[in-house]
Amino acid sequence: MVLKSLKYTLKTALTTTEVTRLYPEVMMELPANERGIHELDATTCIGCGSCARVCPNSCIELVPYRYGNPLKNRKMQFPQIDYGRCTFCGLCVDECPVSCLKMGKRTEIAGWDRKDIVYGPDRIAVKKFSDREVAELEAEAKRQAEEKKKAAAAAAKEKAAKAKGKENKAKAKPGEGGEA
Amino acid sequence: MSAIQSAFPGAVLESRVESDRRLWITVDPKRLVEITQFLRDKKDFDHYSGAAGIDRINENLFEVVEILTSHGAHQVVVLMKVKVPRDKPSVRSLTGLYWNANWYEREIWEMFGINFEGHPELYPLLLPDELVGYWPWRKDFKGYPDTTTGERAIEQVGPDGYTEFKIMPHPELIKAGVVPERPKYPTFREREEAEIKSDSEMIMHMGPQHAIVPGPFLLDLLIEGERVKKAFLDVGYIHKGIEKIMENRTYLQGIVYTDRMCYLASITNNEAYCGAVERLLGITPPERAQYIRVILAELSRIQSHLLGTGEFLTLLGAATYSPFQYMIIDREDIVYLMESITGARITHTFVRFGGVRNDLPDGFADKARPILKRMRERTEEYMDLLHSDPIYTRRMRGIGVLSPGDARRLGVSGPPLRASDTPYDMRREDPILVYPDLDFKVVTRKAGDAEARVEVRLEEILESIHIIEQCLDRIPDGPIQEKLPKKIKPEPGEAYYRVEDPRGEMGFYVVSDGSEKPYRVKVRGPVYAYMQALPPLLEGAYVADVVAIAGSMDACTSEVDR
């Protein structure tokens, strides 16, 4: 009986190829949809905060960050994730309306301090604009804002003019009536 | 239904037939016991599946829902509701009819303060003795520490220089009546010491940290010589209050918490919760999603059985051929398959209302088939190996025998019940998803001992492999997610949904009040029932066999304590 058990032992020892992985040197191969550390595409994030709202542990907070797209993300607010609380459930990724938040294959988070595992947008962003692009975009945003302001001002003027015209008409009417 | 109405005119206040498998009735509290006895004796409702308490604070009522089913005679689930006024809640206890009503009623009593007349031992079960304040799951329970003021732990520096943080209220608050003081009950220790009758008896502690199950619980044995005279169980060391937490989360966020109840069965827990909410929303997942869910549920069953069996075998000292290491190696393959679908190894959060999170990766079937084939060979090897090992058979055969009658009476489900010659499987009893279309058999054994329980598990692995292979052949193309409303707000109502966990019958009872958050979630777990059945099973056994008996149940304390 013991021999039979030993037969299985030997068989396993001789046939099974990989049992122990040389972990720090060789990382195991992770599948394509592994849920590891988040990857933020700062160029498309619109800063809506739906990831922060759906998080069951409220570990996502929106913080200001420079290298995003000011045209889409007006207030320049991007998610910051506290990995001390994150459970890697992936609800934030599902909820993102522009699919700018993904989860990647990076899984090592260790740090010396509790602050070290709070990852701001600069640490999770995989795609971001350079300084020059940001400056251009900002200028564009400014121009657009000004244009909008102008348009708004023009609209307001027009409105005011119309209102005035109406008022004049309204004023004129009782006058007419009075005359008649 | 009509039978109940004709037998008890005027006792049924409301009734609703949801489908041919669900019957909701509201009965007169005074006639509850009579009706239950009628159902048990005349209508074959011989399985008491659980009970839930609901605090209807707006209507000033408490509801107690008793869930009654049958062991294979028919497939109807009766959810019998009793309404009692909130100021003096009291319900007749069903412990005289069903032995296993004991713990369920005790839990409702300690959480809601509903008194059960005629209950033999109304003592706290899950909550610690130090908890301050009454009845924590009532809707008007404020809790301590006070969340409104943010006052939490009190810092105290002792004379030896150590700083201690205490979460206890000031004595003045207790005196003023702001924080009510709980009445004093005999503690667990006092109760068990009262049972010592002579000098030849003593109490042996196993736990709270003991290896028979992965998780803390205290098993105290009153022994006389080598035999166990009586066993006492104390659970609640890792009580997390998940049911209460889920009342404060949206429906979607609740899925995350179902994972954490038992990490070996996280897919089936997801499935049970999502299924209950789907019933509330009135949607069914598309066919491809159903197949994916079945594949994952069966993969999760395989890995759970492998780990459970392997771990248990190390306890028995089966070290010569180290089956634990083999099973871990094999489990790694299965877990890797699951990871390639869900992206996580144990806490999947994968099932969604009306679908699944993502589709199968490309080439999944080609990757899975060789692994499953190898898995089948290995499982057959294990069965051969265990069967031919004389030491193993000596330690397991005829140990901890549960006769079919006892197994039904004690309310266990899953592999231990099937090992006692009762083909009771939720996949057959309450078919969900695509299980009715699939070909599989319910594994049973006649013996009912520890060996049979392990054999049932190993053979179930083979059945699961068979199911997955069928699914891989048949899985259709198509969408994986049904259209959902933007905000998940089910109509007011309630649903009960149960699935076959790796360990037995797992049911979720979800009550909605029309808001974004569930009004009440009750988990009916399989391990809760095993744990309750452990003391009578251990009576009369040898101390050396306790590990073999308790370990062969494959329990998971985390799910008991929820």
pLDDT at position B516 over 80: yes
The pLDDT of residue B400: 81
pLDDT at position B196 over 50: yes
Distance CA B522, CA B53 (A): 8
pLDDT at position B389 over 80: no
The pLDDT of residue B3: 66
Mean pLDDT of B60-75: 84
B256 CB within 8 Å of a chain A CB: yes
Distance CA B63, CA A18 (A): 56
For residue B256, list chain A residues with Cβ-Cβ distance below 8 A.
56, 87, 89, 91
Quote the minimal CA–CA distance from A112 to chain B in Å. 24
B471, β-bridge pairs: none
Distance CA B4, CA B7 (A): 5
A178 CB within 8 Å of a chain B CB: no
pLDDT at position A17 over 80: no
Question: Which tens digits make up the pLDDT trace of A129-153?
Answer: 777 887 888 888 888 888 888 888 8
Q: Are B249 and A56 within 8 A, CB to CB?
A: yes
Question: Which tens digits make up the pLDDT trace of A49-106?
Answer: 888 888 888 888 888 887 777 777 777 788 888 888 888 888 888 888 888 888 888 8
The pLDDT of residue A180: 39
Distance CA B559, CA B524 (A): 10
Phi, psi of A94 (to 5 degrees): -65, -30
Q: Please classify residue A169 by burial: count the beta carbons closer than 10 Å to its beta carbon, then call 0-12 exposed, 13-18 middle and 19+ buried.
A: exposed
A90 CB within 8 Å of a chain B CB: yes
For residue A48, list chain B residues with Cβ-Cβ distance below 8 A.
none
Q: Are B339 and A90 within 8 A, CB to CB?
A: no
pLDDT at position B173 over 80: no
Q: Are A91 and B361 within 8 A, CB to CB?
A: no
The pLDDT of residue A178: 41
Q: Are the beta carbons of B511 and B518 closer than 8 angstroms?
A: yes
Polymer length in residues for chain B: 562
Torsion angle defined by CA atoms of residues B398, B402, B404 and B410, in that order, rounded to the nearest 10 degrees: 180
Q: Are the beta carbons of B66 and B47 closer than 8 angstroms?
A: no
Q: Are A56 and B361 within 8 A, CB to CB?
A: no
Phi, psi of B227 (to 5 degrees): -105, 150
pLDDT at position B147 over 50: no
For residue A33, list chain B residues with Cβ-Cβ distance below 8 A.
340-343, 358, 361
**Which residue of chain A comes nearest to B360, CA vs CA?**
A33
pLDDT at position A172 over 70: no
3-state secondary structure B14-38: EEEEEECCEEEEEECHHHHHHHHHH
Q: Are B321 and A103 within 8 A, CB to CB?
A: no
Of A5, A87, A89, the CB nearest to B320: A5
Of B250, B357, B381, the CB nearest to A90: B357
Distance CA A3, CA A7 (A): 6
- Predicted TM-score (pTM) of the model is 0.84
Q: How many Å separate Cα B241 from the centre of its chain?
A: 14
Distance CA B281, CA B493 (A): 10
Phi, psi of B435 (to 5 degrees): -55, -35
Q: Are the beta carbons of B351 and B255 closer than 8 angstroms?
A: yes
Mean pLDDT of B280-295: 88
Q: What DSSP line would sit under chain A, residue for residue?
A: -HHHHHHHHHHHHHH----S--TTTSPPPPPTT---SEEEETTT-----HHHHH-TT--EEEEE-SSS-TTT-TT-EEEEEETTT-----HHHHH-TT--EEE-S------SSTGGGEE-HHHHEEE---HHHHHHHHHHHHHHHHHHHHHHHHHHHHHHHHHHHHHHHHHHHHHHHHH-
Q: Are the beta carbons of A90 and A147 closer than 8 angstroms?
A: no
For residue B321, list chain A residues with Cβ-Cβ distance below 8 A.
5-6, 8-9
| B439: its two tokens | 């070909």
Q: How far is CA B10 from CA B14, B197, B400, in A?
A: 10, 50, 46
- Above pLDDT 70, what percent of chain A? 88
Distance CA B209, CA B216 (A): 5
The pLDDT of residue A40: 87
SS3 B302: helix
Mean pLDDT of A5-30: 75
The pLDDT of residue A176: 46
Element at B303 (helix H, strand E): helix B287-315
Cα angle: B531, vertex B537, B539; to 5 degrees? 120
The pLDDT of residue B165: 59
Residues 384-423 of B with CB under 8 A from A: 385, 388-390
Q: Are the beta carbons of B251 and B277 closer than 8 angstroms?
A: yes
pLDDT at position A179 over 50: no
Q: Is the dihedral of CA A104, A106, A109, A115 positive or negative?
A: negative
Which residues of B10-169 form beta strands (DSSP E)?
12-19, 22-27, 47-56, 61-69, 77-85, 90-92, 115-117, 154-157, 163-166
Buried b (16+ CB within 10 A) or exposed e, B370-407: ebbeebeebbeebbebbeebeebeebbeebbbbebebb
Element at B550 (helix H, strand E): helix B543-552
Q: Are A5 and B361 within 8 A, CB to CB?
A: no
Q: Which of B251, B316, B320 to mutate to test the interface with A (most CBs of A within 10 A)?
A: B320
Distance CA B455, CA B387 (A): 9
Q: Are the beta carbons of B208 and B128 closer than 8 angstroms?
A: no
Cis (ω within 30 of 0) for the bond into B145? Answer: yes
The pLDDT of residue B96: 80
pLDDT at position B145 over 60: no
The pLDDT-based confidence of A174 (bands split at 50, 70, 90) is low
Reference B75, options B13, B151, B133, B22; nearest CA is B22
**Number of C-alpha atoms within 13 angstroms, CB side, residue B269?**
29
Distance CA B394, CA B544 (A): 12
Distance CA A8, CA A2 (A): 10
| B546: its two tokens | 């306790």
Q: Which of A4, A6, A7, A8 to mutate to test the interface with B (most CBs of B within 10 A)?
A: A8
Q: Is the dihedral of CA B10, B11, B16, B17 positive or negative?
A: negative
What is the residue-averaged pLDDT of chain B?
82
Residue with more model confidence, B428 or B175: B428
Q: Which of A15, A30, A35, A107 to mutate to test the interface with B (most CBs of B within 10 A)?
A: A35
Of B253, B340, B358, the CB nearest to A56: B253
Q: How far is CA A30 from CA A123, B179, B344, in A?
A: 21, 52, 10
3-state secondary structure B453-466: HHHHHHHHHHHHHH
Q: Are B357 and A5 within 8 A, CB to CB?
A: no
**Residue found under tokens 């605090």:** B55
